[in-house]
Chain A
Amino acid sequence: MNKLNSILKSLSSLRLTVVLLALSMVLILAGTLAQTEQGVWMVVERYFRSLYVAIPFQLFVPTKILRIPGVFPFPGGLTLGVLLFVNLLAAHAVRFTLSWKRAGMIATHAGVLLLLVGEFVTGAFAKEGNMTIAEGASANYIEDTRSCELAVIDTSDPGDDLVVVVPARMLGEAGRDVITSGMLPFSVRVVEWMPNSRMLGPMQASKGQLAKATAGVGTQVAATPVAVATGVDGADIDIPAAYLEFKRGDASLGTYLVSPQLNMPQTVDVGGKRYEIALRFERGYRPYTVKLIDFKHDRFVGTETARNFSSLVRLTDPSERVDREVLISMNNPLRYAGETFYQASFAPDDSGTVLQVVRNPGWLLPYVSCALVALGLLVHFGSRLIGSVRRKVS
């Protein structure tokens, strides 16, 4: 019993709190600096939702001044978050007394605990995706713009399409250049993989670039690799592209250029049977359909600065007997079926809308947390301030 007490006591120490807070600051600083080189999602996974992270020394020194190789190990966000959580719980377990004097602090710390839980729930369960809809068109799936898939579609059955998907991480993996599977009608050889890319039109691309593909649209347009989007750019979408050669046995069926930027699926002829292929963002299908009736994008007069944009959509969900029109605009999202639809962006020349679709079971926690902390701190500091003012006046 005494042993338990002493463990609890050391877990509850303020010294530990201060050390953990200091470590958190180093982690946050490193995670911010890392975003000059890496995308924000990569950083979130590696730094803030990990058990430990290897931080390069170079982050803290501009390369212009000094080049330093090497990394140092550091506790990740998950570790620090759990330790702070335990530290806080232990502190209240050891020193718990319910009195008005401590009520403020208890409320504040309860709020902080909720905040930590909220971030954990978000990290573990939240799903984000995009719904891109052209004006007049409908969508019943959500695209995850952080991961791609190669879809091979057998359209021979007029009733249903048979789709086999290959996750893009298999295409991008080092050392794996041929992908074979019994479910695929052909093997796939990865000629070139680009994590982020830009399309070159027929006039921009060189002859050599156009010669990389032997079939499909890649003979008219070409892709060229560009640096991955970094957190400080504010952009968080990479658009990959790949040159893939499809083979049946040893016979080549052609080298194709694939990318989510190419809207139309391409066809591969396998012994007379035609398959559609496309590299696309991973899709999650939904029971409901969103049709874009009208997209509005106002700009400030004489500028390209957006004043507001909004999408008038028709939401239909036959199973739930839902069929209604909704206007989604900046700061006015639609909440439906546990998901929230935000006006995020728009297609080039305003021909369509991009909705961000988020499912986060923990979305309410920060609201409660904010209220608890604000109230708690007001009570705690407020009562002390009133005390000092009283002393001062008397």
Chain B
Amino acid sequence: MKNLPRWFPAIVLICVVAFVVSIFARGIGAGDLTGAMPLEGLARIPVSAGGRTKPLDTYARNELLRMSGKQTFEGDGGSRPAIEWLLELWTKPEAAAERRVFRIDHPDVRSLLALTDATRTRFSWTEISPKLEEIFRQAQLASEVSRKKQDPFQKQITDLYGKLSEYVQVQNLREPYTVAPLAAGEEWAPLLGTDPHAKPLETESALALRGILASYAMGDAADCTRRVAEYHAVLDAKLPSAGAASAFEVVMSRCEPFYNASILYLVAFLLGCVAMLVSPMSPDRWKPSLLRSALVLIAVAFAIQTFGLVSRIYLQGRPPVTNLYSSAVFIGWACVPLALVGEWFSRIGVLSMAASLIGFATLVVAHNLSASGDTMEMMQAVLDSNFWLATHVVVVTIGYSATFLAGFIAIFYVVGGVFTKLLRGDAMKALPKMVYGVICFAAFASFVGTVLGGIWADQSWGRFWGWDPKENGAALIVVWNLLILHARWGGMIRDRGVAALAIAGNIVTSWSWFGTNMLGVGLHSYGFMDSAVFALVTFCLVQLVLVACALVPTARWRSLATTS
């Protein structure tokens, strides 16, 4: 028992390694796709949707996520994977019509559809379909108002109408494009076209898929298994790249690297908190032991997150940041090594806590951004430039990361300094230095990244700087960092002032990151209570409170009071 603190990090390491092994085992094994039917093989079948070749599994997950907000549904035996819902929709539509997959939140929409069960937010096609005409009429009415001016009811009815049309499209096999191009001259195509009188496709892929669906509908597991295996053999021979990428993507979806990394970050953060709590009692034994354990967890979480990022790069053939979702993942990822460098300088544990907190928070944000569907969607032609995505986007995102990191370190400094006695002596001196150093780096990365963006714009449409909302957002971050640095160099602010401004930098960064996107959906008209706006406003208010804490006179700081 006496040596427990010494061995604790090793124990944590063993546990976390076991955890990682279990994740990958679940990814490679069939997991929840076991059963009589060859779900695992069906999940790997490549299809084309949104211009991207992806496994049927990913398509099913995204569709279900868009409709119901979850990647699973309530099947006969409890929670079941999305692929089963999609196959049921294709083979037993009347059974699928009973599945509660349409999420409806707005009370007026519910009352319009006479959905009286207040205990649920998800409803089935059977429950909704009697009111299809009314939904169509309401959607028509709403479509005459621009999206920006629509009220929440109009937005939800428009969304619902869109989901219902898509449901019908999918059920009728017009989406996704399932028929693979196996011979020269063939293109990805839907199994059924829009013309009901057209002759059904007779290509090798179409025939195989029809056979698979027929045997699935009959419940003939043996026949279905054989047909799926045969189809995969054909795919491997004639379309090898799609098959391999599909199989890998199925494994990746099941490993859920970002979700699991976020759990580890959270545990690491909690360990760090415990370390701080026990530090007065056991400053030489438990505190360093727990901090080292937290570091182990962060390192493993970082490795898993890296695996996820690299997988996305492989699947997309693109640099890591291509949309808002991936920017969230990347911001957290870039913060971690930055913070660990800082930790190496200061060795007080606070930076690894900041790293784990940012890692966790950004992955939660990313998770919430993924609800709109495929997170690896194809890019508009103008963005189709790996060179600029790899330089401008990555550098500017690292600038965002560093600005956030400076803000979070400052939060630890202020909260720890004002309310606790944990940051005595060295820590009180080291943390402001860290904040300053990270801001220097942030100024560098955000400036260079922003100017690179201008150069990209000049290359693409001849306008280095157009003063559009997104560009202005980036400019605000640059100017804010410069302002902090110049104020400090001019002696106008010191440690406390830098910390206060760095925390306010969190507001600037989150505004540039999200706020500018929200302008488009009408912050000034309706939708002010949209959850993302609400989250952003809450975050900013919390930052303001923290800035106020930083302004508490140093005489009242508990960590400073005890040093004398």
Measured CB to CB, the residues of A under 8 A from B are 13-15, 17-18, 21-22, 24-25, 28-29, 31-33, 35-37, 40, 43-44, 47-48, 62-65, 115, 118-119, 122, 128, 227, 231-234, 299-303, 305-309, 330-331, 333, 340, 342, 344, 356, 358, 360, 363, 366-367, 369-370, 373-374, 377-378, 381, 384-385, 388, 392
In the complex, which of the residues A118, A303, A344 contacts B50, with contact meaning CB atoms closer than 8 Å?
A303
Interface residues of B in 6-61 (CB under 8 A from A): 48-52
Q: Is the CB of B486 within 8 A of A18?
A: yes
Measured CB to CB, the residues of B under 8 A from A are 48-52, 146, 175-177, 187-188, 190, 345, 378, 380-382, 384-385, 388, 437, 440-441, 443-444, 447-448, 451-452, 454-455, 458-469, 472-473, 475-476, 479-480, 482-483, 486-487, 489-490, 492, 516, 519-520, 522-526, 528
Q: Is the CB of B345 within 8 A of A119?
A: no
Cβ contacts under 8 Å, A63 to chain B: 524-525
Q: How far is the CA of A29 from the CA of B451 in the complex (A)?
A: 19
Cβ contacts under 8 Å, A299 to chain B: 51
Q: How far is the CA of A107 from the CA of B226 in the complex (A)?
A: 69
How near does chain B come to A292, taking the closest CB pair, in angstroms? 18
7 pairs across A/B with beta carbons < 8 Å?
A17-B490, A40-B467, A62-B525, A231-B469, A342-B460, A360-B464, A370-B448
Closest B residue, CB atoms, query A63? B524
Q: How far is the CA of A29 from the CA of B462 in the complex (A)?
A: 24
Q: Is the CB of B447 within 8 A of A29?
A: no
How near does chain A come to B154, taking the closest CB pair, in angstroms? 16
Cβ contacts under 8 Å, A366 to chain B: 451, 454-455, 458, 464-465
Q: Is the CB of B528 within 8 A of A64?
A: yes
Q: Is the CB of A21 within 8 A of B467?
A: no
Q: Is the CB of A381 within 8 A of B444?
A: yes
In the complex, which of the residues A330, A333, A388 contacts B462, with contact meaning CB atoms closer than 8 Å?
A333
Cβ contacts under 8 Å, B458 to chain A: 363, 366
Cβ contacts under 8 Å, B466 to chain A: 40, 44
Q: Is the CB of A301 within 8 A of B187?
A: yes
Q: How far is the CA of A18 from the CA of B480 in the complex (A)?
A: 10
Q: Is the CB of B483 within 8 A of A22?
A: yes
Cβ contacts under 8 Å, B448 to chain A: 370, 373-374, 377
Q: Is the CB of B382 within 8 A of A35?
A: no
Q: Is the CB of B486 within 8 A of A36?
A: no
Q: How far is the CA of A363 from the CA of B458 in the complex (A)?
A: 8
Cβ contacts under 8 Å, B437 to chain A: 385, 388
Q: Is the CB of A25 within 8 A of B50?
A: no
Q: Is the CB of A32 within 8 A of B519?
A: yes
In the complex, which of the residues B460, B463, B467 contacts A330, with contact meaning CB atoms closer than 8 Å?
B460
Q: Is the CB of A21 within 8 A of B476?
A: no
Q: Is the CB of A21 within 8 A of B381?
A: no
Q: Is the CB of A305 within 8 A of B459?
A: no
Q: Is the CB of B380 within 8 A of A306?
A: yes
Q: Is the CB of B486 within 8 A of A14?
A: yes
Q: Is the CB of A302 within 8 A of B461?
A: no
Closest A residue, CB atoms, query B377? A305
Q: Is the CB of B524 within 8 A of A62?
A: yes
Q: How far is the CA of A24 from the CA of B479 in the complex (A)?
A: 8
Closest B residue, CB atoms, query A363? B458
Closest B residue, CB atoms, query A18? B487
Q: Is the CB of B462 within 8 A of A360?
A: yes
Q: Is the CB of B462 within 8 A of A128?
A: yes
Cβ contacts under 8 Å, B522 to chain A: 36
Closest A residue, CB atoms, query B512? A32
Cβ contacts under 8 Å, B525 to chain A: 62-64
Q: How far is the CA of A31 from the CA of B468 in the complex (A)?
A: 9
Closest A residue, CB atoms, query B190? A302
Q: Is the CB of B469 within 8 A of A370?
A: no
Closest A residue, CB atoms, query B520? A232
How near does chain B come to A234, taking the closest CB pair, in angstroms? 8
Cβ contacts under 8 Å, B520 to chain A: 232-234
Closest A residue, CB atoms, query B450? A370
Q: Is the CB of A330 within 8 A of B384?
A: yes
Cβ contacts under 8 Å, B489 to chain A: 14
In the complex, which of the residues B175, B465, B476, B492 contacts A25, with contact meaning CB atoms closer than 8 Å?
B476
In the complex, which of the residues A15, A47, A48, A378 contacts B490, with contact meaning CB atoms closer than 8 Å?
A15
Q: Is the CB of B480 within 8 A of A25?
A: yes
Q: Is the CB of B444 within 8 A of A18?
A: no
Given contacts A342-B462, A369-B451, A21 and B479 within 8 Å (CB-CB) = yes
A-B interface, 5 closest residue pairs, ranked by CB to CB distance from nearest:
A300-B51, A14-B490, A358-B462, A370-B451, A21-B483
Q: How far is the CA of A328 from the CA of B34 in the complex (A)?
A: 53
Q: Is the CB of A342 within 8 A of B447?
A: no
How near does chain A come to B204, taking the closest CB pair, in angstroms? 18
How near does chain A come to B150, taking the closest CB pair, in angstroms? 14
How near does chain B come to A167, taking the closest CB pair, in angstroms? 24
Cβ contacts under 8 Å, A65 to chain B: 528
**Chain B CB within 10 Å, residue with most, of A37, A63, A306:** A306
Closest A residue, CB atoms, query B529? A64
Q: Is the CB of B464 within 8 A of A118?
A: yes
Cβ contacts under 8 Å, B190 to chain A: 302
Closest B residue, CB atoms, query A304? B51
Q: How far is the CA of A18 from the CA of B482 in the complex (A)?
A: 9
Cβ contacts under 8 Å, A40 to chain B: 466-468
Q: Is the CB of B447 within 8 A of A232?
A: no
Closest B residue, CB atoms, query A330? B381
Q: Is the CB of B523 within 8 A of A62?
A: yes
Q: Is the CB of B469 within 8 A of A35?
A: yes
How near does chain A come to B425, taking the closest CB pair, in angstroms? 18
How near does chain B come to A183, taking the closest CB pair, in angstroms? 35
Cβ contacts under 8 Å, A305 to chain B: 50-51, 378, 380
User: Told that A14-B489, A25-B480, A36-B522 touch, could you supply 11 new A-B pairs with CB distance under 8 A?
Assistant: A18-B483, A18-B492, A22-B483, A33-B519, A62-B524, A122-B464, A128-B463, A231-B469, A232-B520, A303-B50, A377-B447
Q: How far is the CA of A40 from the CA of B463 in the complex (A)?
A: 13
Q: Is the CB of A308 within 8 A of B479?
A: no
Cβ contacts under 8 Å, A301 to chain B: 48, 51, 177, 187-188
Q: How far is the CA of A349 from the CA of B170 in the complex (A)?
A: 27
Q: How far is the CA of A330 from the CA of B480 in the complex (A)?
A: 33
Q: How far is the CA of A31 from the CA of B476 in the complex (A)?
A: 12
How near does chain B come to A25, taking the closest CB pair, in angstroms? 5
Q: Is the CB of A300 within 8 A of B52?
A: yes
Cβ contacts under 8 Å, B52 to chain A: 300
Cβ contacts under 8 Å, A367 to chain B: 455
Cβ contacts under 8 Å, B483 to chain A: 18, 21-22, 25
Q: How far is the CA of A234 from the CA of B521 in the complex (A)?
A: 12
In the complex, which of the residues A48, A128, A381 contacts B441, with contact meaning CB atoms closer than 8 Å?
A381
Cβ contacts under 8 Å, A356 to chain B: 461-462
Q: Is the CB of B378 within 8 A of A300?
A: yes
In the complex, which of the residues B382, B384, B472, B479 contacts A32, with contact meaning CB atoms closer than 8 Å?
B472
How near does chain B come to A378, taking the closest CB pair, in angstroms? 7
Q: How far is the CA of A344 from the CA of B457 in the complex (A)?
A: 12
**Chain B CB within 10 Å, residue with most, of A299, A302, A305:** A302
**Chain B CB within 10 Å, residue with most, of A24, A47, A303, A388:** A303
Cβ contacts under 8 Å, A378 to chain B: 444
Cβ contacts under 8 Å, A333 to chain B: 459-460, 462
Q: How far is the CA of A28 from the CA of B345 in the complex (A)?
A: 36
Q: How far is the CA of A384 from the CA of B48 in the complex (A)?
A: 52
Q: How far is the CA of A43 from the CA of B471 in the complex (A)?
A: 14
How near does chain B come to A298, taking the closest CB pair, in angstroms? 8
How near does chain A come to B426, taking the closest CB pair, in angstroms? 13
Q: How far is the CA of A119 from the CA of B451 in the complex (A)?
A: 12
Q: How far is the CA of A94 from the CA of B378 in the complex (A)?
A: 53
Q: How far is the CA of A299 from the CA of B385 in the complex (A)?
A: 16
In the complex, which of the residues B177, B464, B492 contacts A363, with contact meaning CB atoms closer than 8 Å?
B464
Cβ contacts under 8 Å, A231 to chain B: 467-469
Q: Is the CB of B524 within 8 A of A122?
A: no
Q: Is the CB of A31 within 8 A of B490?
A: no
Closest A residue, CB atoms, query B51? A300
In the complex, which of the residues B146, B187, B381, B467 contacts A43, with contact meaning CB atoms closer than 8 Å?
B467
Closest A residue, CB atoms, query B177? A302
Q: Is the CB of B523 within 8 A of A36?
A: yes
